[in-house]
Amino acid sequence: MGSLEQLYQQVILDHAREKHGEGDPTASDASSHQVNPTCGDEVTLGVRLDGDRLASVQWDGDGCSISRASLSMMTDLTQGKTSEEIARLYRDMEVMMHSRNLGVAEEILDELGDAAALESTSQFANRVKCALLGWYALRDAMAKSGIDISSAEVSADQERNSND
């Protein structure tokens, strides 16, 4: 295993242990409960909004280290961001997680920060669901608040890079 892979594994394990955003999701504007039937991971995620800005994310759940790490990374990435910024992050995460580890644009990896460590898991279909579980809960909770983050456009360059 290369040193970069070891670093990425450590980032994932650190986030799985730290679990940024873990807390009581019931004191929120909207919440979503999502289950990954493939492995049994589940999460209840709540959002509090300030206009179109995500004031806070709180989640409670049980799952593998990939789903917990992804939730922690997502919390760090999205808290305090506008719905437009979150839509872009959501789109970038989906592009990366559906890349089958064949590479994505450097801009996407830069935008995703620590979550870029999950890129190698995209080669395993059952792990893609683990990594996206929290993102789908966020999308659903925000939709319940009247904000659609699933409509961000993918540029031609990003689409081409995700299909290479």
The one-letter code for the residue type at 147 is: I
pLDDT at 5: 81
pLDDT at 1: 59
pLDDT at 157: 45
Q: How many CB atoms lie within 10 A of CB 142?
A: 26
The low-confidence residues of the chain, meaning pLDDT below 50, are 155-164
Three-state secondary structure call for residue 72: helix
Distance separating alpha carbons of residues 69 and 65, to the nearest angstrom? 6
Domains and CATH numbers, the chain: 3-163 (3.90.1010.10)
Q: How many CB atoms lie within 10 A of CB 150?
A: 14
Residue 67 phi/psi, 5° resolution? -65, -40
Distance separating alpha carbons of residues 94 and 85, to the nearest angstrom? 14
Three-state secondary structure call for residue 47: strand
pLDDT at 154: 55
Distance separating alpha carbons of residues 3 and 33, to the nearest angstrom? 37
| Assigned token pair, 148 | 């659609």
The one-letter code for the residue type at 17 is: R
pTM of the full structure:
0.90
For 65-96, what is each residue's pLDDT tens digit? 999 999 999 999 999 999 999 999 999 999 99
